[in-house]
Amino acid sequence: MPASLLVTIAVNLFLRTSPFTGLPFTSMARRLSRLRQATRPETNSHAAAKPAAVAAIVRNRNHLFLMPDLDASPGWFVPIVRQLAGKLCTRGILFCEVSAAKAVDLSVQIGALRLRNPILAASGTFGYGLEFAHIVNLNRLGGFVTKGLSREPIEGAPPPRLYPTSSGMLNAVGLQNVGVKAFVAEKLPVLRSFDTAVIANVFGYTIEDYVEVIQVLENADGLAGYELNISCPNVKRGGMQFGSDPTQVSEVVGAARKSASKRPLWVKLSPLVTDIGLIARAAGEAGADALTVANTYPAMALDFRTGRSRLGSATGGLSGPAIKPITLRLVWETKKAAGTPIIGLGGVETADDVLEYLSVGASAVQVGTASFTDPKASERLVGALTNVLERAKVFTLNDIKDKFVAENS
């Protein structure tokens, strides 16, 4: 049967069944498939059209018709769909609106590492990733950062470890983790089955701690890179945080860089510095491939009636929407001072938040506190980001990145 006749039959079937309100596309696809089966029985491997992605939206007054991703459809299906949609649109039965869903490119480059999109789940809020695998499609994310890994297991801080605040949250988890060797033996083998970038967060209390953890990870497969948490006290320097002094930053990053020969090295900066640009340059010059800006802000909450902390510890780290304006500025200051790629972290909840971070210089973002209120927040943001860019008719994140203009005129 000629293709034109097949299309004519399909169009007539469509219009006769529902001339004004339309037929859901899945039903239409089924009927087209049956027609195809009847005309060419030998092609029975495609009993039903199962589009992998939506490439266009065809709509009339009351119904939406989802067009399949033609690149993912059987070859015979492509001309049928195109002709059918074209005839319906040109006759004024439907109003056709080509969506940018297929055209929007969310991929980002962070040094040598290319991610499918700029959305990562942040360390300390996403477990080892496995805890969220039954809720979140990890393969849709640009990646995620594991809980901090230390040389030996750490039990962490006493409860309560979390306390909600206005526009944010306090946490005092105490870097609880199973230790790097148990992570490699028990967690990493399962993580290898996911098609997403797994970044291992590493911390220590001496430079030797950082080096040993990375050496263990270097001998294991399944990781895309490392993130150094340098907001830890250096016990050999009187407890001063590694990340607060450019010299110490250079030393710890340089030592980690020598050990991390196989994978990219990200460095997570502390917000508690006088000049974050100075710290960023020190990390970049010592070998950091990217900078995560920034860690949580020390804060506290108490009950005046009892005079006790709301946490099991006296203080904790403040995160969430409350810190976003402050961290946006830190990302901008870091971008001005250093050429190293930046991952923004702090109060990311919406697609607008993501694009604001990119506008001031970040290449990607990490989603943290939002995962506590909505475990699917990171995955949801991938879809939301696509929708926002479609509406803005922006097809690549390069059109947004570094768009911020300091002087309003």
Q: Is there a single domain that holds both residue 28 and residue 88? A: yes
**CA separation for the pair 323, 330 (Å, rounded):** 11
The pLDDT, as a whole number, for residue 68 is 47
Instruction: Examine the pLDDT at 204 and tell me if it is beyond 60.
Output: yes
Measured between alpha carbons, how far apart are the two ends of the chain, in Å? 65
Percent of the chain with pLDDT over 90: 72
Q: Is residue 82 part of a domain?
A: yes
Q: What is the pLDDT of residue 345?
A: 98
Q: Residue 52: is its pLDDT beyond 70?
A: no
Name which of 28-42, 73-87, 126-140, 330-344 the model is least confident about.
28-42
Range with lowest mean pLDDT among 87-91, 153-157, 298-302: 87-91
Please indicate whether residue 113 or residue 97 has the higher confidence score (pLDDT).
113
Name the residue type at position 32: L
In a domain, 103, yes or no: no
Q: Both 128 and 253 in a single domain? A: yes
Spatial distance between the Cα atoms of 230 and 243, rounded to a whole number of angstroms: 5
Q: What average pLDDT does the chain have?
A: 83
Contact predicate 217/200, CB 8 Å: yes
pLDDT above 70 for 208: yes
Mean pLDDT calculated for residue range 216-232: 97
| Chain segment 145-183, per-residue pLDDT in tens | 999 999 999 999 999 999 999 999 999 999 999 999 999
* Cα separation, 175 vs 295, whole angstroms: 13
Q: Would you place residue 9 in the very low, low, confident or very high pLDDT band (cuts 50, 70, 90)?
A: very low
Q: What share of the chain is helix, strand, coil (3-state, %, to 5)?
A: 40, 20, 40
Q: Are 202 and 148 in contact (CB under 8 A)?
A: yes
Side-chain half-sphere of 47: how many Cα atoms within 13 Å? Answer: 0
pLDDT at position 66 over 50: no
In the Cβ-directed half-sphere of 73, how many Cα atoms lie within 13 Å?
21
Q: Which domain holds residue 261?
A: 108-399
In this predicted structure, the answer to whether residue 58 has a pLDDT above a threshold of 50 is no
CA distances from 108 to 104, 223, 368 (A): 12, 18, 20
pLDDT > 50? residue 35: no
Give buried/exposed letters for 245-274 (b at 16+ CB in 10 A, else e).
bbebbbbbbbbbbebbeebbbbbbbbbebe
Q: Which residues contact 6 (CB under 8 A, 6 or more apart)?
A: 35, 36, 39, 80
Reported as a pLDDT band with limits 50, 70 and 90, residue 279 is very high
Q: Residue 407 — very low, low, confident or very high, per pLDDT cuts 50/70/90? A: confident
Domain count, the chain: 2
Task: Note the pLDDT tens digit of each residue in 245-261.
Answer: 999 999 999 999 999 99
Burial class (CB in 10 A: 0-12, 13-18, 19+), 219: exposed
Residue 405 forms part of a structural domain: no
% of the chain with per-residue pLDDT over 70: 75
Asked if residue 123 and residue 73 are part of one domain, the reply reads: no
Q: What Å distances lie between residue 375 and 167, 312, 380, 398, CA to CA?
A: 18, 24, 9, 28
Average pLDDT over residues 87-94: 48
Q: What would the pLDDT profile of 113-125 be if each residue is shown by its tens digit?
A: 999 999 999 999 9
Boundary-marking domain end, from 44, 62, 97: 97
| Torsion over CA: 382, 383, 389, 392 (sign) | negative
Let me know whether 270 and 122 are in one domain.
yes
pLDDT of residue 76: 53
Q: Tokens 């009339």 identify what position? A: 60
Within a domain: residue 335?
A: yes
Q: Using the 3D structure, point to which of 46, 73, 97 is the last residue of a domain.
A: 97
Residues 304 and 383 in one domain: yes
Helix (H, G, I), strand (E, B) or coil at 375: coil
Residues 121, 237, single domain; the answer is yes
Which structure tokens are listed for 215? 């050496």
CATH code, 166: 3.20.20.70
The residues annotated with a catalytic role in the active site are: 232
